[in-house]
Amino acid sequence: MRRTWLLSSLGLSVLAATPAVSEVTKFEIVSRGPAFEGRSFGAAGPVEMIVGKATFAVDPMNIVNRQIVDLERAPRNARGHVEATTDVVILRPRIATGPMLVDLPNRGDDLLNRWLHDATDAPPSGPASAGSQPVRSLGAVFSKASNGGSGFLFENGMTVVEVGWQGDVPTGIGLQAPVIEGLTGPSRESFTFAGVDAVQKVILSYPAAAGGMGTITARTTPDADAKAVDGLTFRQLDPRTIEVTRPAGMGSRTVYEFNYIATDPAVMGMGFAALRDVVSFLKFDKSASNPLAPDGPPQTIGFGISQSGRALRDFLYFGFNADEQNRQVFDGMLPVVPGARKSFTNARFAQPSRNPGPSADRLYPVAQFPFAYETSVDPSTGAQDGILKQCRVTSTCPKIVQIDSEYEFWASQAGLNVTDVVGKPLALPPEVRAFMIVGAPHSSWGGRVSQPTPACKLASSSVQGPPLIRALIVSLNQWLGGTPPPASRYPTLEDGTLGPASSAYPANDALPYQGQYARAYRVAQTPTGPVVEGTFNLMVPQAGTDGNSRGGVKMPMVAVPRGSYTGWNPLKGAEGPEDLCEAQGSAMPFAATRAQRAANDTRPTIEELYHTEADYVAKVKAAADELVAARLLLPADAETDVKLAEAGKLARLTPPAN
């Protein structure tokens, strides 16, 4: 009561407890007002922003909640339920005629404005480490008018909702997960050294148990075995901090691992219950407690980029798309660049913010069977499993559109979405469409240009994914209304666009591919650290004579190429099988003329492909029109690409060095 009085005295709104139809027991409105400085978005009008806190209670005895790891050990309220609180930000246009798009924040941050609205004032997005976000107030990213960018979602009448699902983010939109005090067990930290200092402090994900021992090892490269190193030591500064000292001569690519006995794990799997219960509350509750009532959204779409897209796959896999009354939570889902991975969330001493990739963190349990939506068999264990297995039992499977960059095939095991673990074809189920953006890097928001990077051998790829994502959001919404979506465009074994790494590229010295890709390791998690027990069979995209992959969606700049765009980029001095630049693709321009083409370059030249610049522009327009007809590009984005081609700026390539 004291908290209620205080909030009311500050002019904030506290809504009453919700009826028993929802497990959200309280929804507090912290602030309410115009977003984007009152800017209007076409016929949908201005957008209202509601910042709230949702308290929800989960019954450990309910069978639908028993998949939450350690839920039965968590503290309970007077009713015997486990409570948690999560942050919620709602952005609702005045004329909200479209679906509710629920975005899973990526490590506490919104990525929508940069990826879908081409907003240049949005915080930087892309791969991040735990705790890397700046301190900011909830909803701050939606304050300035320019943060709304193109306003694509709002102009289409969509309500956008951000729900905190992560219990390990220090700032931003997160979850206040319950903690099990006194429970101990093994935990592991994987990290690299920043800079050249010999000593570095490391913040542990969980407190070290009193009297617990730890061990520190190093991998001289990410591919090497973890070993003890003379002179590599640590000392405990406090339960959450160690100080690591390394000997001279340790390379910049060394990955350090600290294994220790931790205590007080958070019940991170409650994050999936938060998503389920808050979305169900906003979708179904008709009381005054629901800020979207009485005219709630017609349908709901789950949306997540990278780590958040992986979490969506976990949400499905653990059966959370059915609420406690077996109602379907998400009608549609759009995971972006997850590859064939899930997240390290529903586990004891989980670390959802881990960023598995070719450089580090690769042995955390995010890329393990099952990989595919369809049920398949792991011959080594006899397990039969798939991401859709549980939702099929409850008849709550959503319609899914997964979009991957080409990078995900080289670094995120995406080929295992369409093959089983021994490398045989595996069809996508009827509920799923999949698309690969040819040549795109992991973080492919608008405005990217090809440029050299200090760590990478080649210039980065400039292929951009948001135009395809926008088009497929429209197609998914139409699918929910009964109109079939475009057919999948994803490399497959059947059409020869997917295959072994050894045959990925034709012989061509101008394409310096040396077999690098992130393996799909079969990993056993043990008290002393992860143990690699083998690899799953992994296939990768197959390229044509121009160096561009033959399967997937070719955006106009790739369909009418002025160079080769790939999903991989070797590290400078690459030696190991996984020496890839993190999150980067590459771009290698064609020679202008035959006379300028290197003797070892068998790719076509610009003069062979395009007689004049007008010819090039005409071909770009034809390619854009074809994608519009296929519902893979919106007319406005097609027009933008044609204008860029006319200005000589579509390819965004770095000229080859003299």
Which ranges in 373-444 belong to alpha helices (H)? 389-393, 407-411
pLDDT digits (tens, 9 = 90+) for 17-42: 444 445 899 999 999 999 999 999 99
Give 161's pLDDT tier (boundaries 50, 70, 90). very high
**Residue 655: what pLDDT?**
59
pLDDT at 130 over 80: no
**What is the reported pLDDT for 126?**
40
* Choice among 159-173, 217-231, 382-396 with the minimum mean pLDDT: 217-231
Write down the pLDDT at residue 578. Answer: 81
Report the pLDDT averaged over residues 355-366. Answer: 83
Cα–Cα distance measured from residue 464 to residue 337, given in angstroms and rounded to the nearest whole number: 13
CA–CA distance, 446 with 424 (Å, rounded to integer): 36
pLDDT reported for residue 18: 42
Helix (H) or strand (E) holding 554: none
The pLDDT value recorded for residue 8 is: 29
Question: What is the rounded average pLDDT of the residues 56-66?
Answer: 94
Question: Within 10 Å of residue 150's Cβ, how many Cβ atoms?
Answer: 18
Q: What is the pLDDT of residues 70-106, one digit of tens each?
A: 999 999 999 999 999 999 999 999 999 999 999 999 9
- For 448-486, the pLDDT digits (tens) are 889 998 889 999 999 999 999 999 999 999 999 999 999
On the 0-12 / 13-18 / 19+ scale of CB atoms within 10 A, 1 is exposed
- At residue 5, the pLDDT reads 25
Q: What is the pLDDT of residues 587-637, one digit of tens each?
A: 999 999 999 999 889 999 999 999 999 999 999 999 999 999 999 999 999
pTM, two decimals, is 0.93
Phi-psi label, residue 394: left if phi above 0, alpha if psi -120 to 50, beta otherwise:
alpha
Q: How far is CA 365 from the centre of its chain?
A: 16
| Span 214-221, average pLDDT | 92
Question: Are 329 and 320 contacting, i.e. CB atoms less than 8 angstroms apart?
Answer: yes
With contact defined as beta carbons under 8 Å apart, do 371 and 340 qualify? Answer: yes
Cis peptide bond N-terminal to 484, omega within 30: no
- Token digits for 205? 């994900």
Domain boundary assignment for the chain: 2-177+267-355, 184-263, 405-611+629-634
Binning pLDDT at 50, 70 and 90, where does residue 575 land?
A: confident
pLDDT value of residue 506: 87
> Which value, to the nearest 10 degrees, does the dihedral of the CA atoms of residues 295, 300, 302, 303 take?
-70
> Whole-angstrom Cα distance, residue 654 to residue 240?
45
> ∠ at Cα 475 (473, 476), nearest 5°?
65
- Judge whether residue 127 has pLDDT over 70: no
Mean pLDDT computed over every residue of the chain: 90
What distance in Å separates the CA atoms of residue 178 and residue 183, rounded to the nearest whole number?
13
CA distance 258 to 244: 10
User: CA-to-CA distance for 491 and 494, rounded, in angstroms?
Assistant: 9
Average pLDDT rounded to a whole number, residues 288-316: 94
- Separation between Cα atoms, residue 206 and residue 188, nearest integer Å: 9
pLDDT at 137 > cutoff 70:
no
Q: For the chain, what percent of residues have pLDDT higher than 90?
A: 77
Band of residue 243 on the pLDDT scale cut at 50, 70, 90: very high
Distance CA 593, CA 620 (A): 20
pLDDT over 80 at 363, yes or no:
yes
Asked if the model's pLDDT at residue 124 lies above 70, the reply is no
Tell which wins on pLDDT, 224 or 229.
Answer: 229
What was the pLDDT predicted at 9? 29
The arithmetic mean of pLDDT across residues 431-440, rounded, is: 98
Q: Of the candidates 372, 281, 367, which has an alpha carbon nearest to the alpha carbon of residue 90?
A: 281
Q: Which of 25-39, 425-439, 572-586 has the lowest mean pLDDT?
A: 572-586
